[in-house]
Amino acid sequence: MRAEFETIIAKVCTELFGVDVAVELTRPDEKFGDYATNVALQLSKQVGQNPREIAEQLAVKLRENFGEHISDVSVAGPGFLNFRLSNARLCAELGGVVEAGSDYGASDRYKAQTIVVEYSDPNPFKVLHAGHLYTSVVGDAIANLFEAAGAEVHRVNFGGDVGMHVGKTLWAIVKRLGGEDPEKLAEVPVERRSEWMAEAYVEGNNAYDDDEAVKAEMVAMNKKVYDFHEQNDHDSPLARIYWTCRSWSYEYFDAFYGRIGCHFEKYYPESETAAIGLVTVKQQIGKVFEESDGAVVFKGEDHGLHTRVFINSEGLPTYETKDVGLILKKWEDYHFDKSVVITGNEQEQYMAVVLKAVSQFAPELAAKTTHLTHGMVKLAGGVKMSSRKGNILRAVDVLDVAAEANKAATGNDDEQVVLGAVKYSFLKQRMGGDIVYDPVESVSLQGNSGPYLQYAHARARSILSKSKVESRKVGSLDESERSLVRKLTEYPEVIEKSLVDMLPHHVCTYLYELAQTFNRFYEQNRVIGDDRESDRTTLVSAYAGVLQSGLKLLGISAPESM
């Protein structure tokens, strides 16, 4: 609807003033109208006329062009144009909401395009922390938005199964086992495997910092891990320990992602991307990269960035080279139109250097890649934690404290409500800054929370279940009904904005405002047993459908009852 009206306004501007202008309609406070534009102020600079006089001329012409779609076009302030939709147009839009059902708000903006969304990115041998939970939730929501716009979406994951963190952990595991004895791994309880490896990583990291001789042993262990991959060694005792523990990590990841309703099409291990990255970087030495003190670096200062090492003095690829290989592997696998990568804020400058380096020899791939970042996840009143020291906020800790808060508040332990609480609490905050998670606030049925919206949906379904009459096409609206329909028609615009910005919090804000609008409607109007029951159940059905659609985009269930 908005795009249709913007086209009409732009056409009238050209007819009256002979100027092409980009028209953008916004949603003002309802008391001023349903749409507004400052196009008259834009035109005044181009045609040299008073903006209010321009707005008055536009208003006259637009009343003619919009016809029955608009009940009023008014001029406000120095030249703002406000539009009020007619009841007939709103009723027609409501019919579209009902007819589209769960597809309402979907578009073909990315039809026939391939989008790769990479997120979560945990490292085997380490525990999933709260940041992994956050990126899993927000990454899924962004992927859902692209799918709603017609894209073919591939969800992928990237993690370090090689590198110094593996060398440190493997060293500590061998120490725990009393030597390179893979048979002793059977003594580790299944439910303890992930924590056992995480504890080994902390032990190894502390030893690495404290003892130079041990540090050298870990460096050698790291080289052996690369050899396992190059030589396809699955049989030597140390290799068996490595491959077994790596498989434990992936089993742990799969179980956790299944718990939160998140799925990935592919895991890219660094061992797979390192080789192609290493070959590519070596091919570009002297053109993009240069040798420095036995290492290979990219001089980022030449591009307003900083220098980073891509091949270290041991001849091993660094994270940077593995990321180069990842970009090339994703292109090889998907030939994507767009690749979205989601990481923590601390990776912003790092990725800027990687993408700038790639842009020197594969500019089209760098241009197709978008890097999104987020802050640290903290419990309310919490402090920053680190997996290097073992004092991390684990992903399961967030779910556990949410479950405890929900149990204390409601007496039940509904996992879907707990997941809805955590996901919504994350997603309602604008991505970019730190995320402060308050478990008590997140499970509340009052205020801006996931359970509040889940209950709002269940309540609407309950109202509909009590009706004995058939819904029908609505032909007229009173003011309270009009406000609800007006809010419903905003949904496609909100999805579009969320998609363009790649910020799911717009959907959260809208759903909360929609629920509040419905509450005001319901407080003023009886549905069941009223003369307008058929009309109003149509409104309630449309409202429930939009709530369900929005929650689905966020990866949150919409229960029929609570």
Q: Which two structure tokens, joined as six digits, stand for 132?
A: 């992994």
DSSP annotation of 57 reads: H
Residue 234 and residue 214: Cα distance in Å, rounded?
25
DSSP annotation of 34 reads: S
Q: Give residue 391's pLDDT.
A: 58
User: Sign of torsion, CA 157 158 162 164?
Assistant: negative
| pLDDT average per 10 residues of sequence, the chain (562 residues) | 93 93 94 95 92 95 92 94 95 93 92 97 94 97 98 97 94 96 97 94 92 93 94 97 97 96 96 96 97 96 96 93 98 98 97 98 98 92 47 87 93 93 98 93 94 97 93 88 96 97 98 97 94 94 96 97 90
Q: Give residue 473's pLDDT.
A: 87
Of 499, 535, 552, 402, nearest in space to 151 by CA = 499
Domain positions in the chain are 2-84, 86-113+446-562
Residue 144 and residue 151: Cα distance in Å, rounded?
9
CATH class of 2-84: alpha beta
Of 426, 446, 422, nearest in space to 519 by CA = 446
Residue 496 and residue 334: Cα distance in Å, rounded?
25
C-beta of residue 260 within 8 angstroms of C-beta of residue 120: no
Q: Give residue 258's pLDDT.
A: 96
* Whether CATH 1.10.730.10 fits 86-113+446-562: yes
Q: Give residue 385's pLDDT.
A: 41
The SS3 assignment for 299 reads: coil
Q: Give residue 388's pLDDT.
A: 42
Residue 188 and residue 166: Cα distance in Å, rounded?
19
Q: Give residue 393's pLDDT.
A: 87
Q: Give residue 383's pLDDT.
A: 42
C-beta of residue 105 within 8 angstroms of C-beta of residue 495: yes
Cβ contacts of 139 within 8 Å, gap of 6 or more: 117, 118, 119, 120, 155, 262, 342
